[in-house]
Amino acid sequence: MNYETLKIEFKDSIATVTLNRPAKRNAMNPQMHRDMTHALEELRYDERAAVIVFTGAGTSFCGGMDLKEFFFESKGTPEYDRIGRMAVEWRGRTLRQFPKPTIAMINGFCFGGAFSFVEGCDLAFAADEATFGLSEINFKLFPGGGVSKALANLFRPRDALFYGMTGRKFDGKTATTMGFVNASFPLAQLEMETMTIAKEIAAKDPHALRATKEAYRFSLEMSWDAAISYAFAKENDITLQQKGAWIDEGIGDFLKGEFKPGLESHGAKKKK
Ligand code: COA
């Protein structure tokens, strides 16, 4: 998988996708949106990847939309509309509904359009030292594209408007307090901590992981009745997909006294 703007590596059932324009602080230019759209389509079916981790090369996670190549040079052209739609699609719908767990590993700068990238991922871990900012207000814009919706989904109202209206920066520890990321770690430990969690998740049943994501995400937008009906239908779906493994092996092995699901994952004891 060779891309102009991305580097993709596989290890331990984890695909690490690195935004690779460090000299431009990994700003998302039109080529990066094309590359990411294609890469996500490939990773969807790639058996080497049970979990996807996204990070950035150099000092930046992602500098947001490319202010030069996207906003300045293509504004008013059909390409602006095409790339704008693509940018919203992969960070919004594709990531949100991606069949495998996704993790943002925020190693440095994270501005503007990068917020909807982080929000589209299931989990996010940041360096304590990372710098976040809704910088749009600083260049006379507002959090456009999918960013305002990302804020509405994840931010507390006061935080969304405070940071949206001031453009002030915040670090990884503050992002954790706000609930924008799951946790932050010193930069030197970020990769090790993130990969430990990614490996733990990669060892779980892939159908159960997908159902966990889908049941949560779709329930957010459903009525209570529809959500319950969906959950029952999903249960039948996963039973079919796994050929009954959650009942026969998951619950079956518990009943045989082979493991305790409250304390460990299925298969963990057998592997020891
Ligand atoms: N779009 C396009 N180019 C960008 C960019 C962006 N979002 N962010 C950084 N770059 C480019 C700079 O123009 C510069 O290019 P050059 O070397 O050809 O002049 C290069 O990346 C390095 O940027 P620089 O500002 O010198 O690095 P820095 O480490 O001092 O600061 C930032 C990094 C990210 C704080 C700063 O570049 C910045 O404020 N960028 C804009 C961030 C933003 O508002 N993003 C939201 C977009 S929705």
Ligand 1 contact, 27 CB (< 6 A): yes
Residue 220: predicted pLDDT: 94
Q: Which atom of ligand 1 is nearest to the CA of 113?
A: 48
Q: Which atom of ligand 1 is nearest to the CA of 131?
A: 35
Q: State yes or no: pLDDT of 272 exceeds 70.
A: no
pLDDT tens per residue across span 22-53: 999 999 999 999 999 999 999 999 999 999 99
* Mean pLDDT of the region 61-68: 98
pLDDT tens per residue across span 139-148: 999 999 999 9
Ligand 1 contact, 113 CB (< 6 A): yes
User: pTM (2 decimals)?
Assistant: 0.96
Residue 1: predicted pLDDT: 83
Ligand 1 contact, 65 CB (< 6 A): yes
Give the DSSP letter string of the chain: ---SSEEEEEETTEEEEEE--GGGTT-B-HHHHHHHHHHHHHHHH-TT-SEEEEEESTTEEE--B-IIIIIIHHTTSHHHHHHHHHHHHIIIIIHHT-SS-EEEEE-SEEETTHHHHHHHSSEEEEETT-EEE-GGGGGT--STTTHHHHHHHHS-HHHHHHHHHH--EEEHHHHHHHTSSSEEE-HHHHHHHHHHHHHHHHTS-HHHHHHHHHHHHHHTTS-HHHHHHHHHHHHHHHHHHTTTHIIIIIIHHHHTTS--TTTS-TTHHHH-
Residue 268: predicted pLDDT: 61
Q: Name the closest-CA residue to atom 31, ligand 1.
A: 25
Residue 219: predicted pLDDT: 96
* Mean pLDDT of the region 56-76: 96
Ligand 1 contact, 135 CB (< 6 A): yes
Mean pLDDT (the chain, rounded)? 96
